[in-house]
Amino acid sequence: MTAPYRMLSLVEMLSGSPQAGRVDNGIAEVTALGYSWLDSNPGRWFIVGEVIPGMSSNAATIGLSVRAVKAGGYEVETINNRIYARLPHPSGVPLSDFVTRSRPKGHRDELPKLERDKFDWSFGELLTAAETARNWLFPSVGHAAA
């Protein structure tokens, strides 16, 4: 492969999208079309499908499915809800050179380890300090509660 090495997305072409001006004539035609691109560009990664997560464990796939790509004898990986495929070839570049896995939504970093401060206050002393700070910062709240 020569620089710049670009990745081609076949998802829209294989999905029969109206934007492409093409109407899908069947799964066999779409699969053959995808296979022909993979065969004519050995070692090159293509985005051949996209997984759209559903509300349940089911997910819709646009383009070629992982099963269809594997059945054709191609290398396939799913990263960030995209299905990447290629015909294995020694000149191929690893997919990790182009794509990195994103963190799942809602993932949080671990909380830092809690350590005692230099004053070495007890739990009761911390409660008193927090209550004093609250009374100083929000004096009207304390009077309303009384």
Query: How confident is the model at residue 76, as a pLDDT?
Result: 93
Q: Quick count: other Cβ atoms within 10 Å of Cβ 49?
A: 26
Q: Quick count: other Cβ atoms within 10 Å of Cβ 7?
A: 14
Domain extents for the chain? 8-97, 116-146
Angstrom distances, CA of residue 118 to CA of 111, 115, 121, 122: 20, 9, 8, 12
pLDDT in tens, the chain (146 residues): 444 445 556 655 555 444 444 444 556 777 787 888 889 889 888 888 888 877 556 677 787 888 888 988 999 999 888 889 999 988 888 888 878 776 666 666 677 777 777 888 888 888 899 899 988 988 876 555 55
The residue written with tokens 């079309």 in the block is: 33
Asked if residues 57 and 98 have their Cβ atoms less than 8 Å apart, the reply is: no
Query: How confident is the model at residue 3, as a pLDDT?
Result: 45
